[in-house]
Amino acid sequence: MNVKVVSLSSLICFVCWATIFSQETGIYVPPQIQKIYNGNTRSWNGEPGKGYWQNSADYYLKVKLDTETNLVTGSGDIVYYNYSPDSLKTIVFRLYQDIFKKGIARDYGLNEKSIGSGTQLKHLSINGVELDPDTAGYRSYTNYYVKLTEPLAPSNHLDVEIGWEFKIPEEQTIRMGKYREGGFFVAYWYPQIAVYDDVDGWDRTEYLGQVEFYNDINNFEVEITAPENYLIRATGDLLNAKDVLTEEVYSRYENALTSNEVVRIIRREDLEENITAGNENQTWYYKATGVPDFTFACVKNYLWDGVTAMADAKTGRKIFADVLYKDGDRNFDEGAYFSKIIVEYLSTGLPGVEFPYSHITSFCNGNSAGGGMESPMMTNDGAPYSRVSTFSLLLHEIAHTYFPFYMGINERKYGWMDEGWATFLTKDLVSEIDSNYSHYQNIFKRYGPVLGKESDVPLMIPSRLVKGYPLTAAIYGRAFFAYVALEDLLGKELFKKALKEFINRWEGKHPLPYDFFFTFNDVANQDLSWFWNPWFYDLGYCDLGIEKNEAGEIAVKLIGNQPVSVDVIITYHDGSQQFVNKNPEVWKNGDTEFILQTDKGKKIESIKINDERIPDLDANNNYLNLD
């Protein structure tokens, strides 16, 4: 038995350490968060705690879209369930459309013509008591707080009836809107109850334009009314297809739902023809269970293609992949086929988790700048120029199914836990479609402008506190390269195992960054804090360089602080080459120099760091000519 003599001073030191880095995680865990992990909702090994809880709601909504005036009129019953141990004295609604309201602060300026009156609340009753929406609560930017006369007790529910309307702005679209004649994508459209969680209580984050989702997992039954010959595709399953589509379109749709080949459901020859039954407004019934949001596309004179994709080969479970686009939207005639490949890749490749939804519908908004927006079972996409960009866009948006939807990520604080993953999950499949396309370089273009500058901020700074380009650079760029380095470090197999474990543990829940760090530590059975700190917590950058050291050895230097793989090509005078590949573990013990074992019998001509896969700040020190 080893007997250690512990001096009083080192004991005191240890106590300090244990207080700051509780459970000796090696990473900073704020005291507010430590309390949670010492409680029963989360665990220090990254699993949800035995007492983990989450609130949820059932939304029964009716909405009418007037395609002439752009007026959206809605009414709904919301049943909100309180599974928290707290009595809730207030209920917080998000009225997203207030971002367009005059006088509201925003993350960026809007076209003046788009400024309007935001969400008009027409009716409110809580637990059967009629309230005046103007006096029952108060508006703060896009949030609406209503004080409850009777607190909502634990294990109890609240019945809300609400009526509202807003006008879709003509000039400007923010993740939703009227994009062109016959092309509406309607999101952020209903009064939504904010998240109440074990970290902050109510999420009071305002929707100012930049940060996106943080939603509970809810159920929706929605009746959408739109004029004749508008097609509605929405989150959830369409329950009355037979009643709303013409016989011919319905039979093609039915066929597509089981087809392994792409079915052209609405074709060029159908444009300007009837595609809906009857000659007046149609009401479409959609139902979705266990989703964090509900959106819909409302289109006229659009083409519609659909095909099935295998989500689980063992059970034979297939999902429906479909696209809505206008004749002439570049590459979208391949969109359904692309979506099929994507869903099958995500289900079996990375993350290798069965696609969780019954369909994925992609709406093309025609914007040539590209870009897109995800929502559960729906994506809203531009029309980029190249085939590979279209594929990459669809892949990115569909990959969001896992983050932030299947995993209820709070991207208002941790944007890297959704954009970073969507960017990362794109990299392998997109290079299979086009081997000349460098996803790494493409992402580097996004990250490069902040690299080595003050505005390259650590990922652990809450996203809502970072504005503008630095946020984009961090949550897409820095996060992407961090995950790439992590995959290199663990190797593909262990990395996938850890990622799948993280997903299995937290699907349908609200994981924090610590749940991610601790799960990876747990599955890898190692303390990865030496890696988490520089990539997620610290200011710094990535830079490798090549030097001949004092002893005459050739060394790869870690000049920046972010650990990355070493990928070096040594060219000898006789024309032969030696390739050195080491994963980021070479920097684990704080070493900043890695000595290359070269062939002593041969004369070296040059040494080159292959910097294609790393966000290297200074390319000038990546090449050494010894000739």
Q: Which is nearer to Zn ion, 428 or 585 (CB)?
A: 428
List Cβ neighbours of 58 (8 Å cut-off, separation of 6 or more). Answer: 78, 79, 218, 219, 220, 221
Q: Does 29 bind Zn ion (CB under 5 A)?
A: no
- Which residues ranging from 233 to 292 are in contact with Zn ion (CB under 5 A)? none
508 backbone φψ class: left, alpha, beta (φ>0; ψ -120 to 50): left
CA-wise closest residue to 332 among 300, 305, 358, 307: 305
Rounded to 10 degrees, the C-alpha dihedral 232/237/243/246 comes to 50
Q: Decide whether 270 or 419 has the Cβ nearer to Zn ion.
A: 419
Residue 480 or 495 with smaller CB distance to Zn ion: 480
Total residues contacting Zn ion by CB under 5 A comes to 2
Toward Zn ion, which CB reaches closer, 82 or 173?
Answer: 173
DSSP state of 409: -
How far apart are alpha carbons 295 and 310 in whole angstroms? 24
**Of 177-185, 327-335, 421-429, 580-588, which part binds Zn ion (CB under 5 A)?**
421-429
Name the residue nearer to Zn ion (CB basis): 298 or 422: 422
Tokens of 580: 């050195």
Exactly one of 346, 422, 430, 528 binds Zn ion (CB under 5 A); which one? 422
* Span of 258-266, 422-430, 516-524, 607-615 interacting with Zn ion by CB under 5 A: 422-430
Which residue has 């512990």 as its token pair? Answer: 6
Q: How near is the Cβ of 213 to Zn ion at its closest, in Å?
A: 10
Neighbours of 145 (CB within 10 A): 16
Closest CB to Zn ion among residues 249, 425: 425
- C-beta atoms surrounding 586 within 10 Å: 16
Question: Which secondary structure element, helix H or strand E, spans residue 237, and what is its range?
Answer: strand 237-238
| DSSP, residue by residue, 147-164 | EEEEEE-TTEEEEEEEEE
Residue with smaller CB distance to Zn ion, 393 or 542? 393
> Which string of b and e fits 3-12 if b means at least 16 CB within 10 Å?
eeeeeeeeee
- Name which of 419 and 515 has its Cβ closer to Zn ion: 419
Whole-number Å distance between alpha carbons of 418 and 479: 10
Q: Which helix or strand (DSSP H or E) is residue 251 part of?
A: helix 247-256
Q: Looking at beta carbons only, is 355 or 403 nearer to Zn ion? A: 403
Instruction: Residue 373: name the closest of 468, 486, 297 by CA.
Output: 297
Report which residue type is found at 508.
G
Q: Is-contact 310 275, C-beta < 8 A? A: no
**Amino acid in the structure at residue 393:** L
Q: Which stretch binds Zn ion (CB under 5 A): 65-73, 303-311, 412-420, 601-609?
A: 412-420
Q: Considering the complex, what minimum distance in angstroms separates the CB of residue 34 from Zn ion?
A: 31
Candidate segments 63-71, 214-222, 346-354, 413-421, binder of Zn ion by CB under 5 A: 413-421
Interface with Zn ion (CB under 5 A): 419, 422
